[in-house]
Amino acid sequence: MKAPAALAALLLVCAAVPAAAQGTHPRPEETEVWKPVPAVVTPGRTDLGAPSDAIVLFDGKDESQWVSADDHTPADWDVHDGVLTVSKKAGNIETKRSFTNYQIHLEWKVPSGITGSGQARGNSGLFLASTGPGDDGYEIQILDSYKNSTYVNGQAAAIYKQYPPLVNAMRPPGEWNVYDVVWTAPTFNADGSLKSPAYVTAFQNGVLVQDHVALLGPTLYIGKPHYAPHGPEPIKLQAHGDPSAPISFRNIWVRVLPDTAQAHMP
Protein backbone atom coordinates (compact mmCIF):
# COMPACT_ATOMS: atom_id res chain seq x y z
CA MET A 1 0.00 0.00 0.00
CA LYS A 2 2.97 2.31 0.47
CA ALA A 3 3.96 2.40 -3.21
CA PRO A 4 0.61 3.72 -4.52
CA ALA A 5 0.61 6.41 -1.82
CA ALA A 6 4.08 7.57 -2.84
CA LEU A 7 3.04 7.64 -6.49
CA ALA A 8 0.00 9.78 -5.68
CA ALA A 9 2.18 12.25 -3.80
CA LEU A 10 4.56 12.50 -6.76
CA LEU A 11 1.69 13.20 -9.15
CA LEU A 12 0.48 16.02 -6.92
CA VAL A 13 3.92 17.63 -6.93
CA CYS A 14 4.19 17.41 -10.73
CA ALA A 15 0.78 19.00 -11.12
CA ALA A 16 1.95 22.01 -9.14
CA VAL A 17 5.01 22.59 -11.32
CA PRO A 18 4.40 25.07 -14.24
CA ALA A 19 4.31 23.63 -17.74
CA ALA A 20 7.43 25.57 -18.73
CA ALA A 21 9.39 24.04 -15.86
CA GLN A 22 8.31 20.61 -17.02
CA GLY A 23 9.79 21.30 -20.47
CA THR A 24 6.42 21.54 -22.25
CA HIS A 25 5.35 24.37 -24.61
CA PRO A 26 2.29 26.67 -24.51
CA ARG A 27 -0.60 25.63 -26.70
CA PRO A 28 -1.28 27.82 -29.78
CA GLU A 29 -4.89 28.19 -28.65
CA GLU A 30 -3.73 30.22 -25.67
CA THR A 31 -2.94 33.22 -27.91
CA GLU A 32 -5.92 32.95 -30.26
CA VAL A 33 -8.55 35.70 -30.13
CA TRP A 34 -11.95 34.81 -31.57
CA LYS A 35 -14.18 37.74 -30.59
CA PRO A 36 -15.28 40.34 -31.45
CA VAL A 37 -15.42 39.27 -35.08
CA PRO A 38 -14.47 42.11 -37.52
CA ALA A 39 -17.32 43.40 -39.67
CA VAL A 40 -17.39 42.23 -43.27
CA VAL A 41 -16.55 44.97 -45.79
CA THR A 42 -16.77 44.20 -49.50
CA PRO A 43 -14.07 46.13 -51.40
CA GLY A 44 -14.95 47.89 -54.64
CA ARG A 45 -18.72 47.50 -54.50
CA THR A 46 -19.33 49.99 -57.32
CA ASP A 47 -17.65 51.16 -60.50
CA LEU A 48 -16.11 53.85 -58.28
CA GLY A 49 -14.19 51.20 -56.38
CA ALA A 50 -15.85 52.29 -53.15
CA PRO A 51 -16.03 49.71 -50.33
CA SER A 52 -19.43 48.54 -49.15
CA ASP A 53 -19.31 50.67 -45.99
CA ALA A 54 -18.19 53.89 -47.72
CA ILE A 55 -20.07 57.17 -47.98
CA VAL A 56 -19.78 58.23 -51.61
CA LEU A 57 -19.12 61.97 -51.73
CA PHE A 58 -18.97 62.25 -55.52
CA ASP A 59 -20.31 59.55 -57.82
CA GLY A 60 -19.83 61.43 -61.10
CA LYS A 61 -23.44 62.60 -61.25
CA ASP A 62 -24.03 65.58 -58.97
CA GLU A 63 -22.84 67.68 -56.01
CA SER A 64 -25.61 66.62 -53.65
CA GLN A 65 -23.09 65.85 -50.87
CA TRP A 66 -21.47 69.31 -51.07
CA VAL A 67 -22.26 72.94 -50.26
CA SER A 68 -20.47 76.26 -50.64
CA ALA A 69 -17.95 76.60 -47.81
CA ASP A 70 -18.74 80.31 -47.49
CA ASP A 71 -22.52 80.36 -47.09
CA HIS A 72 -23.64 76.70 -47.26
CA THR A 73 -25.70 77.26 -50.40
CA PRO A 74 -25.68 74.39 -52.95
CA ALA A 75 -22.23 73.74 -54.42
CA ASP A 76 -21.80 75.20 -57.90
CA TRP A 77 -18.77 73.59 -59.50
CA ASP A 78 -18.88 72.07 -62.98
CA VAL A 79 -20.05 68.44 -63.28
CA HIS A 80 -19.44 66.85 -66.67
CA ASP A 81 -18.70 63.34 -67.96
CA GLY A 82 -18.37 61.93 -64.45
CA VAL A 83 -15.88 64.62 -63.40
CA LEU A 84 -16.11 67.53 -60.93
CA THR A 85 -14.12 70.58 -62.02
CA VAL A 86 -13.25 73.53 -59.80
CA SER A 87 -15.12 76.79 -60.34
CA LYS A 88 -12.86 79.49 -58.98
CA LYS A 89 -15.69 81.98 -59.16
CA ALA A 90 -17.92 79.80 -56.97
CA GLY A 91 -15.21 79.33 -54.31
CA ASN A 92 -14.44 76.47 -51.95
CA ILE A 93 -16.89 73.64 -51.35
CA GLU A 94 -17.28 71.39 -48.33
CA THR A 95 -19.25 68.31 -47.36
CA LYS A 96 -22.71 68.56 -45.84
CA ARG A 97 -21.64 66.00 -43.27
CA SER A 98 -19.06 66.58 -40.56
CA PHE A 99 -16.55 63.89 -39.64
CA THR A 100 -14.15 62.97 -36.86
CA ASN A 101 -11.77 60.14 -37.88
CA TYR A 102 -11.95 58.60 -41.32
CA GLN A 103 -10.29 57.19 -44.44
CA ILE A 104 -10.78 59.16 -47.66
CA HIS A 105 -10.15 58.26 -51.29
CA LEU A 106 -9.95 61.07 -53.83
CA GLU A 107 -8.74 61.25 -57.44
CA TRP A 108 -7.60 64.52 -59.03
CA LYS A 109 -6.16 65.65 -62.34
CA VAL A 110 -4.18 68.66 -63.48
CA PRO A 111 -5.29 69.57 -67.03
CA SER A 112 -2.88 68.78 -69.81
CA GLY A 113 -1.21 71.84 -71.29
CA ILE A 114 -1.35 73.70 -67.98
CA THR A 115 0.82 76.81 -67.71
CA GLY A 116 2.34 78.69 -64.79
CA SER A 117 4.94 77.73 -62.24
CA GLY A 118 5.41 77.22 -58.53
CA GLN A 119 2.23 77.68 -56.52
CA ALA A 120 0.47 79.15 -59.57
CA ARG A 121 0.18 75.80 -61.34
CA GLY A 122 -2.87 73.65 -60.66
CA ASN A 123 -3.20 74.76 -57.06
CA SER A 124 -5.96 73.32 -54.90
CA GLY A 125 -6.19 71.53 -51.58
CA LEU A 126 -7.91 68.75 -49.67
CA PHE A 127 -8.83 70.12 -46.23
CA LEU A 128 -9.22 67.11 -43.96
CA ALA A 129 -11.13 69.22 -41.45
CA SER A 130 -12.53 72.63 -42.39
CA THR A 131 -12.52 74.79 -39.27
CA GLY A 132 -13.94 77.95 -40.80
CA PRO A 133 -14.50 79.96 -43.97
CA GLY A 134 -11.81 80.55 -46.57
CA ASP A 135 -8.72 78.40 -46.20
CA ASP A 136 -9.11 77.60 -42.51
CA GLY A 137 -8.45 73.98 -41.57
CA TYR A 138 -5.95 71.18 -42.07
CA GLU A 139 -4.75 70.95 -45.68
CA ILE A 140 -2.95 68.34 -47.68
CA GLN A 141 -1.73 70.21 -50.75
CA ILE A 142 -2.91 69.58 -54.29
CA LEU A 143 -0.61 71.06 -56.94
CA ASP A 144 1.10 70.17 -60.20
CA SER A 145 4.45 69.02 -58.79
CA TYR A 146 5.55 67.24 -61.96
CA LYS A 147 8.79 68.99 -62.91
CA ASN A 148 7.57 72.11 -61.12
CA SER A 149 9.72 73.62 -58.37
CA THR A 150 8.27 75.23 -55.24
CA TYR A 151 8.89 75.17 -51.49
CA VAL A 152 8.82 71.52 -50.51
CA ASN A 153 6.33 71.89 -47.68
CA GLY A 154 3.95 73.35 -50.25
CA GLN A 155 4.26 70.82 -53.07
CA ALA A 156 1.74 68.09 -53.83
CA ALA A 157 1.07 65.73 -50.89
CA ALA A 158 2.63 68.13 -48.37
CA ILE A 159 0.82 68.88 -45.14
CA TYR A 160 0.82 72.53 -46.06
CA LYS A 161 3.68 74.50 -44.44
CA GLN A 162 4.30 71.65 -41.95
CA TYR A 163 5.51 68.41 -43.59
CA PRO A 164 6.97 67.88 -47.08
CA PRO A 165 5.99 64.56 -48.66
CA LEU A 166 8.41 61.69 -48.19
CA VAL A 167 8.74 61.45 -51.99
CA ASN A 168 7.36 63.14 -55.10
CA ALA A 169 4.92 60.59 -56.56
CA MET A 170 3.32 63.01 -59.04
CA ARG A 171 1.99 61.91 -62.42
CA PRO A 172 2.23 64.22 -65.48
CA PRO A 173 -0.53 66.74 -66.27
CA GLY A 174 -3.45 65.06 -67.97
CA GLU A 175 -3.16 61.88 -65.86
CA TRP A 176 -5.17 61.09 -62.74
CA ASN A 177 -3.52 61.21 -59.32
CA VAL A 178 -4.94 59.27 -56.37
CA TYR A 179 -4.90 60.25 -52.71
CA ASP A 180 -5.72 57.73 -49.99
CA VAL A 181 -5.58 59.44 -46.60
CA VAL A 182 -6.25 58.41 -43.01
CA TRP A 183 -7.23 61.34 -40.81
CA THR A 184 -7.20 61.14 -37.01
CA ALA A 185 -8.78 64.26 -35.55
CA PRO A 186 -7.25 66.10 -32.59
CA THR A 187 -8.84 65.76 -29.18
CA PHE A 188 -9.15 68.38 -26.46
CA ASN A 189 -9.46 68.47 -22.69
CA ALA A 190 -12.44 70.00 -20.94
CA ASP A 191 -10.53 73.27 -20.50
CA GLY A 192 -9.84 73.51 -24.24
CA SER A 193 -6.18 72.47 -24.05
CA LEU A 194 -4.84 69.92 -26.50
CA LYS A 195 -5.17 66.30 -25.40
CA SER A 196 -3.82 64.62 -28.56
CA PRO A 197 -2.80 66.15 -31.91
CA ALA A 198 -4.19 65.36 -35.32
CA TYR A 199 -2.41 62.62 -37.28
CA VAL A 200 -2.22 62.00 -41.02
CA THR A 201 -1.11 58.98 -43.02
CA ALA A 202 -1.29 59.48 -46.77
CA PHE A 203 -0.55 57.64 -50.01
CA GLN A 204 -0.27 59.26 -53.43
CA ASN A 205 -0.68 56.86 -56.33
CA GLY A 206 -0.07 53.94 -53.97
CA VAL A 207 3.16 55.44 -52.58
CA LEU A 208 3.49 56.40 -48.90
CA VAL A 209 3.95 60.18 -48.72
CA GLN A 210 2.98 60.97 -45.08
CA ASP A 211 3.69 58.41 -42.35
CA HIS A 212 1.44 59.06 -39.34
CA VAL A 213 2.70 62.61 -38.87
CA ALA A 214 1.51 64.65 -35.88
CA LEU A 215 0.18 68.01 -37.03
CA LEU A 216 1.19 71.17 -35.19
CA GLY A 217 -2.28 72.66 -35.64
CA PRO A 218 -4.31 73.86 -38.61
CA THR A 219 -2.22 74.66 -41.69
CA LEU A 220 -1.50 78.37 -42.11
CA TYR A 221 -0.21 80.39 -45.04
CA ILE A 222 1.50 82.85 -42.68
CA GLY A 223 2.69 82.25 -39.13
CA LYS A 224 3.10 79.34 -36.77
CA PRO A 225 0.25 76.82 -36.39
CA HIS A 226 -1.58 76.43 -33.09
CA TYR A 227 -4.62 74.47 -31.96
CA ALA A 228 -8.03 75.76 -30.95
CA PRO A 229 -10.67 73.30 -29.71
CA HIS A 230 -13.22 72.00 -32.22
CA GLY A 231 -15.39 68.97 -32.84
CA PRO A 232 -16.35 67.07 -36.01
CA GLU A 233 -15.77 69.17 -39.13
CA PRO A 234 -16.60 69.02 -42.86
CA ILE A 235 -14.12 68.00 -45.55
CA LYS A 236 -13.29 70.89 -47.89
CA LEU A 237 -11.98 71.20 -51.46
CA GLN A 238 -10.23 74.41 -52.41
CA ALA A 239 -10.91 76.70 -55.35
CA HIS A 240 -7.53 78.41 -55.31
CA GLY A 241 -7.29 81.84 -56.91
CA ASP A 242 -4.15 81.20 -58.98
CA PRO A 243 -4.50 82.00 -62.71
CA SER A 244 -3.82 78.48 -64.03
CA ALA A 245 -6.52 76.24 -65.48
CA PRO A 246 -8.70 74.58 -62.81
CA ILE A 247 -8.17 70.98 -61.78
CA SER A 248 -10.77 68.19 -61.69
CA PHE A 249 -11.86 65.48 -59.25
CA ARG A 250 -13.59 62.12 -59.45
CA ASN A 251 -14.29 59.02 -57.35
CA ILE A 252 -14.47 60.58 -53.89
CA TRP A 253 -15.53 58.41 -50.98
CA VAL A 254 -14.97 58.26 -47.25
CA ARG A 255 -15.08 55.51 -44.62
CA VAL A 256 -15.89 56.55 -41.09
CA LEU A 257 -13.53 54.66 -38.81
CA PRO A 258 -15.66 52.30 -36.72
CA ASP A 259 -13.76 52.49 -33.44
CA THR A 260 -13.67 56.20 -32.63
CA ALA A 261 -15.17 58.15 -35.54
CA GLN A 262 -18.60 59.62 -36.02
CA ALA A 263 -20.33 61.23 -38.97
CA HIS A 264 -22.96 63.89 -38.30
CA MET A 265 -25.56 65.33 -40.60
CA PRO A 266 -25.98 69.11 -40.26
Nearest to 121 by CA among 82, 158, 148: 148
How many domains, the chain? 1
CATH number at residue 249: 2.60.120.560
Is residue 9 a part of any domain in this protein? no
Percent of the chain with pLDDT over 70: 87
Domain range for residue 259?
39-264
pLDDT in tens, 164-176: 999 999 999 999 9
* Mean pLDDT, rounded, for 2-31: 60
Q: What is the pLDDT of residues 92-135, one digit of tens each?
A: 999 999 999 999 999 999 999 999 999 999 999 999 999 988 88
Instruction: Answer whether residue 242 is part of any domain.
Output: yes
223 is a domain residue: yes
The percent of residues in the chain predicted with pLDDT above 90, rounded, is 74
pLDDT-derived band at 15, boundaries 50, 70, 90? very low
Distances (CA, A) of 215 to 186, 201, 220: 9, 11, 12
Residue 18 lies inside a defined structural domain of this protein = no
3-class state of residue 198 by DSSP: coil
Global confidence as pTM: 0.85
Residue 74 lies in a domain: yes
> Which is higher by pLDDT, 16 or 188?
188
- In 3-state terms, what secondary structure has residue 3? helix
